[in-house]
């Protein structure tokens, strides 16, 4: 098994005819992902990389029955595309676009949780279950099959860590990029819930960053009650404090969000912490053996 | 996009939020002229983006024309937290009986907007929020049913206002909300809202930050905004310039190493590893996931020209970004720049074989392992 996607997943690509969408669709198909349909309004009836293109998500769903979607629609239009996919009952939507307006991101994410769909992102690298399915933009050569689940805010940091694990003989069950924030649909907590029940996953590597709130949420969830070893790495230890934005930010955050604070919370939750990806293989060896 | 106070106030006025009479001045002569038009005494306020301006000496009340000259020239010359004022805002000095606080921003964990207000406005608002939290009221705006006009009055009552004050402050809150929604703001803040002796209320200060990702639909307001040409060479200028070039993150520190990354997570990891290896960062640029060869070249140029940069580490592990394109950008930079700091490249990810081939053919050393690249960077001697 793996979580969220595997060899049986049927993928829809929204924005399949754009430069990035078309190129990444080719790479996903080459990897073995079963891409059943694409959507680009106005290009229905065409084909991209051998995949039939539809004008609307509803038509694509009716004809090809996808169960997951990856959305390459650019930021200004991404909210509309994601809501269209939610309306068509797709339960996992990967929102790749980097520049989704904040108000739009909040709108689509609130709607997704109301309707029980997972939205990964926005500004995410997607997810990959190595050897089975890739729904994202990862450089897949760095990944390998195995027992470690990885969940990361940053796509690049998940590649870095997967590369390190692969080199040391630790393959991965599913690797998930949550996206750049400052708001997220799918979070560490959701990933931990799914990894908990997954037979293939023996340990979870959680890659966090300074700022935001989802690492704290994850530590709270793990506290004293998680059946698998978790290794956490929080980057940004040496970063200078962010530029201050008025008093409002300080009033709401109450000084939370530093790397030190997050690491402390993970330690209190019984999570092993690493200072960089290099330390993770040895910790896994220790944790999985014990 | 953070706006200057004078820019934010033009937007406030369009939305019916009262502000003090004010004029912008770029020189001492203009300041004297402005003070004459407005009438002494006046407040002279440095136009800077960084917070804590008042405590840093960027706001002064003056009573005579001679004082206008000396205070204006002092403030114009002062580096407020390494930022030179782009201009001065000369405003009428109001008699303020009471100071209130109001802001609208996002509560990210709850994914909804939040209104914050207090009857204790002024520079101590953060310590009041920490020490006497009951004096700072926060109110979340549920997307369903959304905002209603009563919310402003409700918030007024919650901070202890009564009668006519409830309506006056409520109107200001409602209009700040309109600014927040209509202009895709991340933050709208007024500290203080000044209550005058006759009960009128005025936005004495104004902070407005627009969401960078929404600027494409705010063209009109940005085009109409007054601008002051800025030809400084300071940090604020370099930061602005980086933003104009399309570099999402530009941070300066005190060291001598430049770092470029194509992801926030690996960028921060790279900074941590350099720190652990005893290196000190001068400048950090994060380029995001849609980097063209042009952006690569421009970012390298920007980092190399930040001043005091001995070596630049380009830390790449691309998914969306193609390493062949990144290599092309690096080569362009190397060919177009005559004197430059040494470059160390770490390259992995999409199209890495092709990218490395291009670098090798052009005689640029590169690493596959991030740790080795960091060590090589720190080892570079001036």
pLDDT of residue A244: 53
Closest partner residue to B263 (CB to CB) among A101, A103, A157 is A157
Closest partner residue to B186 (CB to CB) among A102, A159, A239 is A102
Task: Identify the closest residue of chain B to A183 by CA–CA distance.
Answer: B108
Taking an 8 Å cut-off on Cβ atoms, the answer to whether B186 and A106 are in contact is no
Distance, CA of B300 to CA of B356 (rounded, Å): 18
Taking an 8 Å cut-off on Cβ atoms, the answer to whether B112 and A110 are in contact is yes
- If asked whether residues B374 and B251 sit together in one domain, one would say yes
pLDDT of residue A246: 62
Closest partner residue to A160 (CB to CB) among B112, B189, B269 is B269
Task: Identify the closest residue of chain A to B276 by CA–CA distance.
Answer: A238
Tokens, residue A10: 């049927």
pLDDT at B203 over 70: yes
Taking an 8 Å cut-off on Cβ atoms, the answer to whether B263 and A156 are in contact is yes
Identify the H or E element spanning A230.
strand A230-235
Domain-embedded: residue B113:
yes
Instruction: Give B136→chain A minimum CA distance, Å.
Output: 9
Taking an 8 Å cut-off on Cβ atoms, the answer to whether A154 and B266 are in contact is yes
At B229, is the pLDDT very low, low, confident or very high (cuts 50, 70, 90)?
Answer: confident
Pick from B24, B18, B68: which is nearest to B226 by CA? B24
Q: What is the pLDDT of residues A30-63, one digit of tens each?
A: 999 999 999 999 999 999 999 999 999 999 999 9
Distance, CA of B20 to CA of B192 (rounded, Å): 12
Phi, psi of B302 (to 5 degrees): -60, -45
pLDDT of residue B239: 83
Task: Identify the closest residue of chain B to A245 by CA–CA distance.
Answer: B51
Domain boundary among B64, B92, B120: B92
Distance, CA of A136 to CA of B209 (rounded, Å): 32
* From A245-259, B31-45, B195-209, the region with the lowest mean pLDDT: A245-259
DSSP output for B245-285 = HT-SEEEE-SSSEEEEESSHHHHHHHHHHHHHTT--EEEEE
* From A181-195, B11-25, B240-254, the region with the lowest mean pLDDT: B240-254
Domain-embedded: residue B54:
yes
Task: Identify the closest residue of chain B to A177 by CA–CA distance.
Answer: B265
pLDDT of residue B228: 82
Taking an 8 Å cut-off on Cβ atoms, the answer to whether A209 and B251 are in contact is no
Of all residues in chain B, what percent carry a pLDDT higher than 70? 98
pLDDT of residue B236: 74
CATH number at residue B190: 3.30.470.20
Neighboring chain A residues of B274 at a CB cutoff of 8 Å: 238
* From A22-36, A56-70, B113-127, B190-204, the region with the lowest mean pLDDT: B113-127
Neighboring chain A residues of B286 at a CB cutoff of 8 Å: none
Domain-embedded: residue B365:
yes
- Give the domain extent around B366: 235-379
Tokens, residue A211: 């700022």
Neighboring chain A residues of B130 at a CB cutoff of 8 Å: 254
Instruction: Give B140→chain A minimum CA distance, Å.
Output: 12
Domain boundary among B76, B92, B108: B92
Task: Identify the closest residue of chain B to A167 by CA–CA distance.
Answer: B369
- If asked whether residues B371 and B277 sit together in one domain, one would say yes
Are B241 and B302 in contact by the 8 Å Cβ rule? The answer is: yes
Tokens, residue A251: 């009033």
Domain-embedded: residue B200:
yes
**SS3 for A270?**
coil
Domain-embedded: residue B105:
yes
Domain boundary among B92, B123, B147: B92
Neighboring chain A residues of B318 at a CB cutoff of 8 Å: 139, 156
Domain-embedded: residue B12:
no
Neighboring chain A residues of B103 at a CB cutoff of 8 Å: 246-248, 251
Q: What is the mean pLDDT of chain B?
A: 93
Let me know the angle formed at the C-alpha of B323 by A98 and B239, rounded to the nearest 5 degrees: 50
Report CA B290 to chain centroid distance, whole Å.
23
Strand partners, A230: A204
Q: How many CA atoms lie within 13 A of A31 on its CB side?
A: 29
pLDDT of residue A247: 73
User: What residue ranges of chain A have pLDDT lower than 50?
Assistant: none
Of all residues in chain B, what percent carry a pLDDT higher than 90? 76
Neighboring chain B residues of A217 at a CB cutoff of 8 Å: 109
Tokens, residue A201: 């996953």
Domain range annotation of chain A: 11-120, 126-289
Q: What is the mean pLDDT of residues B325-353?
A: 92
Taking an 8 Å cut-off on Cβ atoms, the answer to whether B261 and A158 are in contact is no
* From A140-149, A244-253, B58-67, B238-247, the region with the lowest mean pLDDT: A244-253
Are A53 and A16 in contact by the 8 Å Cβ rule? The answer is: yes
Domain-embedded: residue B229:
no
Tally A–B CB contacts below 8 A: 188
Pick from A237, A192, A194: which is nearest to A218 by CA? A192
- If asked whether residues B252 and B371 sit together in one domain, one would say yes
Taking an 8 Å cut-off on Cβ atoms, the answer to whether A156 and B109 are in contact is no
Pick from A41, A44, A42: which is nearest to A64 by CA? A44
Distance, CA of B123 to CA of B191 (rounded, Å): 8
Say which of A65, A140, A247, A254 is annotated catalytic.
Answer: A247
- If asked whether residues B65 and B194 sit together in one domain, one would say no
Are B315 and B273 in contact by the 8 Å Cβ rule? The answer is: no
Distance, CA of B369 to CA of A287 (rounded, Å): 25
Tokens, residue B281: 């960062």
* Count of structural domains, chain B: 3
Q: What is the mean pLDDT of residues B68-94?
A: 90
Neighboring chain B residues of A254 at a CB cutoff of 8 Å: 130
Q: What is the mean pLDDT of residues B121-132?
A: 87
- If asked whether residues B206 and B308 sit together in one domain, one would say no
**SS3 for A93?**
strand
Taking an 8 Å cut-off on Cβ atoms, the answer to whether A246 and B265 are in contact is no
Domain-embedded: residue B9:
no
Q: Beta strands A230-235 and A272-274: pairing type?
A: parallel
- Domain A11-120, CATH homologous superfamily name and number: NAD(P)-binding Rossmann-like Domain (3.40.50.720)
CATH number at residue B75: 3.30.1490.20
Please state which architecture CATH assigns to domain A126-289.
3-Layer(aba) Sandwich (3.40)
- If asked whether residues B172 and B77 sit together in one domain, one would say no
pLDDT of residue B125: 87
Neighboring chain B residues of A158 at a CB cutoff of 8 Å: 265
Could you check whether A11-120 and A126-289 share the same CATH topology? yes
Q: What is the pLDDT of residues B265-297, one digit of tens each?
A: 999 999 999 999 999 999 999 998 889 999 999
Sheet holding B249-252, edge to edge: B249-252, B281-286, B257-261, B311-318, B342-349, B366-367
Suggest the residue from A98, A247, A249, A259 to mutate for an interface test with chain B (most B CBs closer than 10 A). A247
pLDDT at B360 over 60: yes
- If asked whether residues B242 and B369 sit together in one domain, one would say yes
Taking an 8 Å cut-off on Cβ atoms, the answer to whether B253 and A240 are in contact is yes
Taking an 8 Å cut-off on Cβ atoms, the answer to whether A107 and B143 are in contact is yes
pLDDT of residue B57: 87
H runs (alpha helix) in chain B: 5-14, 28-38, 65-77, 125-131, 150-158, 164-182, 219-224, 235-245, 264-276, 293-304, 323-336, 352-361, 370-379
Kindly provide the ipTM of the predicted complex, given to two decimals.
0.93
Task: Identify the closest residue of chain B to A238 by CA–CA distance.
Answer: B272
Instruction: Give A275→chain B minimum CA distance, Å.
Output: 9
Pick from A206, A181, A178: which is nearest to A270 by CA? A206
pLDDT of residue B52: 77
pLDDT of residue A266: 97
Taking an 8 Å cut-off on Cβ atoms, the answer to whether A136 and B103 are in contact is no
**SS3 for B359?**
helix
So which residues of B are the catalytic ones?
A: 101, 189
pTM: 0.93
Distance, CA of B55 to CA of B183 (rounded, Å): 29
Q: What is the mean pLDDT of residues B58-83?
A: 90
């Amino acid at each position: 098994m793996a979580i969220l996607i595997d060899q049986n997943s049927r993928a829809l690509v929204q924005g399949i005819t754009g430069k990035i969408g078309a190129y990444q669709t080719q790479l996903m198909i080459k990897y073995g992902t079963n891409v059943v349909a694409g959507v680009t309004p106005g290009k229905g009836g065409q084909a991209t990389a051998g995949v039939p293109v539809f004008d609307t998500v509803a038509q694509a769903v009716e004809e090809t029955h996808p169960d997951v979607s990856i959305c390459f629609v650019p930021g200004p239009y991404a909210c509309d595309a994601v809501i269209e996919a939610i309306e068509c009952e797709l339960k996992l939507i990967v929102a790749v676009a980097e520049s989704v307006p904040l108000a739009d991101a909040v709108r689509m994410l609130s709607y997704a949780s109301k309707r029980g769909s997972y939205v990964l992102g926005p500004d995410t690298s997607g997810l990959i279950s190595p050897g089975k399915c890739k729904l994202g933009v990862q450089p897949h050569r760095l990944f390998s099959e195995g027992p470690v689940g990885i969940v990361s805010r940053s796509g690049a940091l998940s590649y870095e860590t997967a590369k390190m694990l692969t080199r040391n003989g630790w393959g991965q069950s599913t690797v998930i990029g949550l996206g750049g924030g400052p708001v997220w649909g799918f979070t560490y907590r959701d990933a931990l819930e799914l990894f908990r029940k997954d037979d293939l996953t023996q340990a979870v590597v959680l890659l966090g960053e300074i700022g935001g709130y989802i690492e704290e949420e994850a530590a709270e969830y793990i506290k004293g009650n998680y059946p698998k070893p978790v290794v956490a790495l929080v980057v940004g230890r040496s970063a200078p404090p962010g530029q201050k934005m008025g008093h409002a930010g300080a009033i709401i955050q109450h000084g939370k969000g530093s790397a030190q604070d997050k690491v402390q919370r993970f330690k209190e939750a019984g999570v092993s912490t690493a200072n960089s990806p290099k330390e993770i293989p040895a910790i896994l060896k220790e944790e999985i053996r014990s | 996009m953070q706006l200057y106070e004078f820019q934010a106030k033009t937007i406030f006025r369009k939305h019916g939020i009262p502000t003090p009479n004010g004029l912008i001045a770029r020189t001492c002569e203009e300041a004297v002229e402005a003070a004459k038009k407005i009438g002494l005494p006046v407040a002279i306020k440095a136009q800077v983006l960084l917070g804590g301006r008042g405590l840093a000496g960027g706001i002064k009340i003056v009573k005579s024309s001679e004082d206008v000259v000396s205070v204006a020239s002092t403030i114009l010359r002062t580096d407020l937290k390494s930022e030179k004022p782009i201009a001065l805002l000369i405003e009428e000095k109001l008699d303020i009986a009471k100071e209130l606080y109001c802001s609208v921003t996002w509560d990210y964990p709850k994914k909804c907007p939040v209104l914050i207000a207090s009857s204790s406005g002024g520079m101590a608002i953060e310590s009041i929020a920490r020490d006497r939290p009951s004096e700072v009221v926060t109110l979340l705006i549920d997307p369903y049913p959304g905002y209603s006009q009563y919310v402003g009055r409700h918030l007024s009552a919650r901070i202890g206002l009564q009668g006519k004050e409830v309506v006056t402050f409520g109107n200001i809150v409602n209009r700040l909300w309109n600014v927040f929604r209509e202009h895709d703001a991340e933050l709208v803040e007024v500290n203080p809202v000044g209550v005058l002796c006759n009960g009128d209320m005025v936005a004495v200060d104004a902070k407005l930050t627009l969401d960078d990702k929404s600027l494409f639909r705010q063209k009109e307001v940005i085009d109409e905004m007054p601008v002051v040409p800025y030809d400084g060479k300071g940090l604020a200028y370099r930061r602005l310039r980086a933003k104009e070039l399309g570099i999402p993150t530009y941070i300066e520190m005190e060291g001598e190493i430049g770092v470029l990354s194509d992801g926030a997570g690996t960028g921060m990891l790279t900074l941590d590893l350099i720190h652990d290896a005893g290196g000190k960062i001068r400048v950090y640029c994060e380029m995001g996931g849609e980097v063209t060869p042009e952006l690569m070249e421009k970012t390298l140029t920007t980092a190399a020209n930040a001043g005091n940069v001995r070596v630049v580490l380009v830390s790449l592990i691309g998914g969306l970004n193609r390493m062949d394109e990144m290599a092309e950008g690096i080569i362009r930079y190397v060919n177009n720049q005559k004197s430059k700091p040494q470059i160390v490249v770490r390259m992995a990810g999409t199209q890495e074989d092709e990218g490395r081939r291009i670098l090798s053919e052009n005689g640029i050393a590169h690493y596959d392992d991030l740790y080795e690249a960091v060590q090589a960077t720190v080892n570079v001697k001036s």
